[in-house]
């Protein structure tokens, strides 16, 4: 019985009681005035009571009859709606047994193997039931159609309460294909903004014969314009070496599938130079932004990242992430030192305007980060500014140098810890970050929020976690080390800078460490920087002693090399299972040693560093270890890279590394 009808009966009962009381009072008053009315009054009142009871039961019966009829009608309508539902509908048990299908369901999926989908949906809802989850609400593609599936479940009443509760599942299939296609069509028609740069345009133009310049430039332009035509896009030449590319998003997926073959086609153009220098392109594409201007701005940020990673690659910004393609070749060294001179003069000006200078490297600093820090320190002192070097953490290889450094009185007060650095840094402090550009990898991340005057000097390939608010950046991926870049800054300073011998030795040691004694990643400018430093009377024997390992460490490294295994014919992998605060340094040295073995072109050594697993990757240049370890959250260079993993065991980290190595081989057809 509905609540409305129950309330109606209650009102009737309430009013009847009031009337009976009023009648009783009237009869009593009559009887008091005349006793002859007592018997007739009693008879009349009893008659009224009987009539009232009869009338109440009659009304109650009529209402009950109406409610039963209404309930039957509603149930019939509900059942009829369920049976003739315009949406495909199925009722089944949690084990997948079908209880009932609507005629719409049978018609919709008459020629489709729907059972496999039904079983999966039933399992998914069963998991939700066991986890007290919500009802199902999802989209599913079935036979080229997109369905919005709404699932519900009800508990079945049963006599035996000792058994596990049972449920019936109801699934509605709503055809959303038209809406989905419209949304897809809309998304495909959105504009993507791209920026294309010829990385080595100036280098090539300077070296090719004068009569060949128009022909080679025309070949480059033709290649890019034809590529734009294939995708229905618009290519606009913005500058001699820069193009703006506008196209619809529907072509982006095809480009990704082809791994942007335009990069390889550009290298096939004959530059007619003596060294046959290949033409390399850097491409940045973005589909993020509410307007084409915002998309262009995000593409501009992406091109900076691509160039900071060495060029010859594609960076795509979409869904809040960066996606990288290419970047498997060595960075091309820039012969001109104009940028180094400009950066040097700009840095001098910033130092002169600052209250003081704080210099910071990366966590677990090495000789490159500390050597380059000392170079900037000497520049600041030459300009008569107070300068300090933040060095909270350092490893085994830096310990020998720190001991030598602190023997000199001048350097005892300039090496400061975190708390001192935070106290000394204000809004007018110039913060110089060397040998890293990653926010999560600096020595004291809090310093980045203490001042807006930040300078970055780094040589690592640019990653997503870069410091965005730097006012001056000297980021050259072709450089061997941060020490090489700082040496050029010192060399071209407008106010003559004279390095102390120990400072020159530390810069030289930084270059030695990152080039593995001038073996890897060296160019003309690397040797020019080293030659400049040698003028300060560097003691090579002293520098070599800083890199010496004790016998115990050497034996550990030998054991790691001994236990290495070879995968894919040329990749050496080994594990260092001891918990060691210097595990990353041991792994790095072991990875270097593995490369001395014939037929090994790349090496990876994994070690335990506290609760983390560190990975050191090395290569002779044939395999890009940076691309492999970047997929594990790391970074570095083609020949030298590293990564750290949390929440995994050593074996899990190794398995994940092998997966990424195999992905690299598949993607690059190695």
480-519 pLDDT, tens digit each: 899 999 999 999 998 888 999 999 999 999 999 888 788 7
Helix and strand totals (H; E) in the chain: 23, 23
pLDDT in tens, 256-278: 888 888 988 888 888 776 667 78
pLDDT in tens, 337-382: 777 888 899 899 999 999 999 999 988 788 899 999 999 999 999 9
Residue 462 has pLDDT above 80, yes or no: no
Q: Which helix (H) or strand (E) holds 640?
A: strand 640-646
Q: Is the pTM of this model over 0.85?
A: no
Among 529, 220, 207, CA closest to 371: 529
Task: Please give the backbone phi and psi of residue 522, each rounded to the nearest 5 degrees, phi first.
Answer: -110, 140
Q: Which helix (H) or strand (E) holds 194?
A: strand 191-198
DSSP code, position 157: P
- String of DSSP letters for 371-436: HHHHHHHHHHHHTT--EEEE---B-HHHHHHHHHHTTSHHHHTTEE-HHHHHHH--TTEEEEEES-
Do 638 and 666 meet the contact criterion of CB atoms below 8 Å apart?
no
CA 515/CA 621 separation, integer angstroms: 13
What is the band of 235 on the pLDDT scale with cuts at 50, 70, 90?
Answer: very high
Distances (CA, A) of 206 to 210, 213, 243: 9, 9, 20
CA 15/CA 29 separation, integer angstroms: 22
Residue 386's pLDDT is 93
List the structure tokens of 629. Answer: 């370890």
List the structure tokens of 496. Answer: 């003559």
Residue 10's pLDDT is 47
Among 347, 231, 223, 237, CA closest to 279: 223
CA-atom Rg of the chain in angstroms: 40
Residue 489's pLDDT is 94
Lowest mean pLDDT among 55-69, 307-321, 469-483, 489-503: 55-69
Residue percentage of the chain with pLDDT more than 90: 25
What is the band of 3 on the pLDDT scale with cuts at 50, 70, 90?
Answer: very low
What is the band of 626 on the pLDDT scale with cuts at 50, 70, 90?
Answer: confident
Residue 105 has pLDDT above 70, yes or no: yes
pLDDT in tens, 385-429: 999 999 877 666 677 788 888 888 888 889 898 999 999 999 999
Residue 78's pLDDT is 55
Question: At 160, is the secondary structure helix, strand, or coil?
Answer: coil
Residue 5's pLDDT is 46
CA 411/CA 414 separation, integer angstroms: 5
Among 590, 528, 530, CA closest to 556: 590
Partners of 321 in the beta sheet?
Answer: 318
- Only one residue has tokens 């953490």, namely 393
Residue 7's pLDDT is 43
- Only one residue has tokens 């003028």, namely 535
- HSE (side-chain half, CA atoms, 13 Å) at 551: 0
What is the band of 79 on the pLDDT scale with cuts at 50, 70, 90?
Answer: low
Residue 395's pLDDT is 61
Residue 89 has pLDDT above 90, yes or no: no
Do 624 and 638 meet the contact criterion of CB atoms below 8 Å apart?
yes
Among 603, 607, 577, CA closest to 591: 603
What is the mean predicted confidence (pLDDT) over 230-248? 90
What is the band of 603 on the pLDDT scale with cuts at 50, 70, 90?
Answer: very high
Residue 1's pLDDT is 44
Distances (CA, A) of 2 to 6, 15, 371, 400: 6, 21, 86, 89
CA 508/CA 529 separation, integer angstroms: 8
Residue 101 has pLDDT above 70, yes or no: yes
Among 317, 353, 304, 51, CA closest to 197: 304
Mean pLDDT taken over the chain: 82
CA 317/CA 323 separation, integer angstroms: 7
Among 297, 185, 310, 205, CA closest to 249: 185
Residue 85 has pLDDT above 50, yes or no: yes
Do 477 and 329 meet the contact criterion of CB atoms below 8 Å apart?
no
pLDDT in tens, 138-151: 888 888 888 888 88
Among 426, 403, 430, 427, CA closest to 415: 403
Where does residue 132 fall: left (phi above 0), alpha (psi -120 to 50 degrees), or beta otherwise? Answer: left
What is the mean predicted confidence (pLDDT) over 626-631? 86
């Amino acid at each position: 019985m509905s609540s409305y009808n129950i309330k109606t009966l209650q009102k009737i009962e309430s009013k009847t009681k009031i009337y009976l009381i009023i009648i009783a009072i009237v009869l009593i008053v009559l009887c008091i005035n005349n006793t002859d009315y007592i018997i007739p009054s009693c008879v009349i009142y009893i008659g009224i009571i009987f009539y009232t009871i009869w009338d109440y039961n009659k009304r109650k019966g009529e209402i009950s009859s109406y409610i039963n009829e209404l309930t039957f009608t509603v149930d019939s309508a509900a059942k009829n709606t369920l049976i003739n539902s315009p949406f495909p509908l199925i009722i089944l048990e949690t084990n997948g047994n079908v209880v009932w299908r609507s005629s719409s369901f049978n018609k919709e999926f008459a020629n489709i193997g729907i059972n496999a989908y039904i079983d999966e949906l039933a399992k998914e809802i069963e998991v939700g039931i066991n986890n007290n989850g919500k009802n199902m609400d999802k989209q599913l593609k079935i036979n080229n159609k997109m369905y919005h599936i709404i699932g519900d479940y009800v508990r079945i009443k049963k006599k035996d309460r000792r058994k596990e509760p049972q449920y019936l599942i109801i699934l509605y299939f709503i055809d959303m294909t038209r809406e989905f296609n419209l949304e897809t069509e809309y998304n495909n028609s959105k504009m993507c903004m791209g920026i294309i740069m010829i990385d080595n345009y100036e280098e090539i133009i300077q070296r090719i014969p004068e009569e060949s310049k128009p022909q080679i430039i025309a070949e480059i332009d033709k290649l890019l314009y034809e590529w734009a035509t294939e995708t229905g896009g618009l290519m606009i030449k913005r500058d001699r070496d820069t193009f703006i590319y506008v196209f619809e998003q529907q072509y982006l997926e095809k480009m990704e599938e082809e791994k942007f073959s335009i990069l390889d086609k550009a290298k096939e153009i004959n530059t007619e130079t003596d060294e046959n220098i290949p033409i390399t392109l850097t491409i940045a594409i973005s589909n993020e932004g509410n307007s084409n201007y915002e998309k262009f701005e995000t593409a501009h940020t992406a091109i900076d990242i691509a160039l900071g990673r060495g060029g010859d690659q594609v960076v795509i910004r979409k869904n809040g992430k960066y996606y990288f393609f290419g970047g498997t070749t060595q960075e091309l060294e820039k012969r001109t030192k104009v940028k180094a001179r400009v950066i040097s003069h700009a840095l001098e000006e910033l130092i002169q305007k600052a209250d003081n200078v704080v210099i910071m490297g990366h966590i677990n600093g090495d000789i490159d980060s500390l050597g380059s820090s000392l170079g900037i320190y000497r520049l600041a002192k030459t300009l008569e500014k107070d300068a300090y070097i933040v060095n909270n953490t350092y490893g085994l290889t830096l310990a020998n140098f720190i001991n030598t450094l602190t023997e000199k009185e001048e350097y005892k007060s300039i090496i400061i810890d975190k708390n001192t650095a935070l106290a000394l840094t204000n809004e007018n402090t110039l913060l110089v970050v060397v040998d890293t550009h990653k926010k999560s990898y600096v020595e004291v991340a809090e310093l980045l929020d203490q001042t807006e005057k930040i300078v970055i000097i780094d040589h690592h390939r640019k990653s997503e976690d870069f410091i965005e608010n730097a006012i001056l950046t000297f980021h050259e991926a072709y450089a061997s080390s941060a020490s090489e870049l700082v040496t050029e800054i010192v060399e071209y300073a407008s106010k003559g800078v004279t390095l102390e011998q120990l400072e020159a030795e530390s810069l030289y040691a930084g270059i030695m460490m990152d080039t593995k004694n001038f073996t890897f990643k060296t160019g003309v400018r690397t040797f020019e920087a080293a030659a400049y430093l040698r003028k300060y009377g560097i003691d090579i024997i002293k520098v070599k002693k800083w890199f010496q390992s004790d016998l115990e460490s050497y034996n550990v490294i030998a054991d790691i090399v001994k236990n290495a295994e070879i995968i894919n014919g040329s990749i050496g992998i080994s594990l260092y299972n001891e918990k060691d605060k210097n595990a990353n340094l041991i792994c790095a040295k072991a990875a270097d040693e593995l490369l001395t073995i014939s037929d090994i072109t790349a090496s990876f050594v994994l070690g335990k560093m506290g609760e983390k697993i560190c990975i050191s990757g090395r290569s002779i240049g044939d395999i890009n270890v940076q691309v492999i370890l970047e997929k594990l959250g790391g970074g570095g260079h083609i020949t030298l890279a590293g990564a750290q993993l949390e929440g995994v065991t050593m074996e899990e980290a190794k398995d994940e590394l092998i997966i990424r190595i195999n992905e690299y081989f598949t993607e690059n057809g190695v």
